[in-house]
Amino acid sequence: MEELLERLLEQCRAFTSWGQAADYIPELAKSDPASLGIYVIGSEGKHSWAGDCHQPFTIQSVVKPILLLQALLDNGTEHVMQRVGVEATGKPFDAINAGDQSLDSGNINPMVNMGAILMCTLIQGKDYAERFQRLLELTRRLAGDEEIDIDEAVYCSEKTHGSKNRALAYLLKSHGLLEDDVEEVLDCYFRACSIRVDCKALAHIGAVLSNRGRLPASNQRIFPAAMSRYVNAILMTCGMYDGSGEFALRVGVPAKSGVGGGIMAVVPTRMGIGIYGPALDRKGNSVAGIRLLEQLSRELYLSIF
């Protein structure tokens, strides 16, 4: 497996020059666009890796499935479905969907920013500091790393340059879909996006989702199997932004990307995969990361289709 990962990584490294690091959050522009790393945790517990897989980066949108899990654990499926739907928007992650239809709860997708901001209100806790702390603890458990914390510089950068997310949150507020103080909700969202991870952490989260809610090593259950079906289904249709359809064709497994360059992929019953490649395509997905997953999927017959 290591040899295969090394070979594919070297083949795909050239694609890093096809994209650019995100710069709308200035702190993210400091990442090295030539980086590329992969980490795989198999269902039998074997770890394999290649490239820049120990490089830390911020989780960004890969936190959305964790937010969804926390919302499901705290409220149950029915309540969550009344607040955020499951249908793909087919629009960019930060699109301001102001049409009446898109502001219907059923059309607010949890894998794009508007839905993720709304999900922060579904986490239970006496205040937003406690809500974020509970999300962080779930992330640590899923990632198998108790040391995980936020990257203060990225958090401050997001908070300072988050006008579009503010617009989305106020839009929700103006339609009566968000009751709490907008700045407090956004603070929780910005912190959530700024959680610092590496490829191993993302692979571990993917492995729990591939193992139907159980930790890969101990088999300890973290969430019910029904919730992994719920989350994996949404990742399949909406996890790669408005590039999810093409990703389903090219790779064929549930996955979530983030503008920090991370991709967390779930190969049901087989493995979790963590990728880092901060050079992004126009849709916000890691260019070389997708190539790497595509090649790996072809070599190991990973597509679920």
Determine whether 241 is an active site residue: yes
262 pairs with which residues across the strands?
276
Beta strands 255-257; 196-197: pairing state? unpaired
Determine whether 24 is an active site residue: no
Residue of 62, 259, 267, 287 with catalytic role: 259
Q: From the list 52, 151, 158, 281, which residue makes contact with ligand GLU (rule: CB under 6 A)?
A: 158
Write out the E strands in 75-204.
196-197
Binding status of residue 259 toward ligand GLU by CB under 6 A: yes
Which of 16, 285 has the CB closer to ligand GLU?
A: 285
Q: From the list 35, 89, 109, 165, which residue makes contact with ligand GLU (rule: CB under 6 A)?
A: 165
Tell me the CA distances in angstroms from 196 to 9, 14, 33, 299, one per residue in order.
23, 26, 18, 30
Give the CA angle between residues 208, 214, 218 to the nearest 5°.
105
**Look-up of token digits 């937003």:** 128
Which of 36, 112 has the CB closer to ligand GLU?
A: 112
Residue of 39, 128, 155, 189 with catalytic role: 189
Question: Which positions from 21 through 80 interact with ligand GLU, judged by CB under 6 A?
Answer: 60-61
Question: Which positions from 268 through 297 interact with ligand GLU, judged by CB under 6 A?
Answer: 284
Q: Which run of H or of E encompasses 271? A: strand 271-276
Q: From the list 35, 48, 107, 113, which residue makes contact with ligand GLU (rule: CB under 6 A)?
A: 113
**Residue 136, C-beta contacts closer than 8 angstroms, at least 6 positions apart:** 148, 149, 150, 195
Binding status of residue 258 toward ligand GLU by CB under 6 A: yes
Helix, strand, coil shares of the chain as percentages rounded to 5?
A: 50, 10, 35
Determine whether 128 is an active site residue: no
Min dist. Cβ of residue 247 to ligand GLU (A) = 14
- The site for ligand GLU (CB under 6 A) is made up of 60-61, 93-94, 113, 158, 165, 193, 258-259, 284
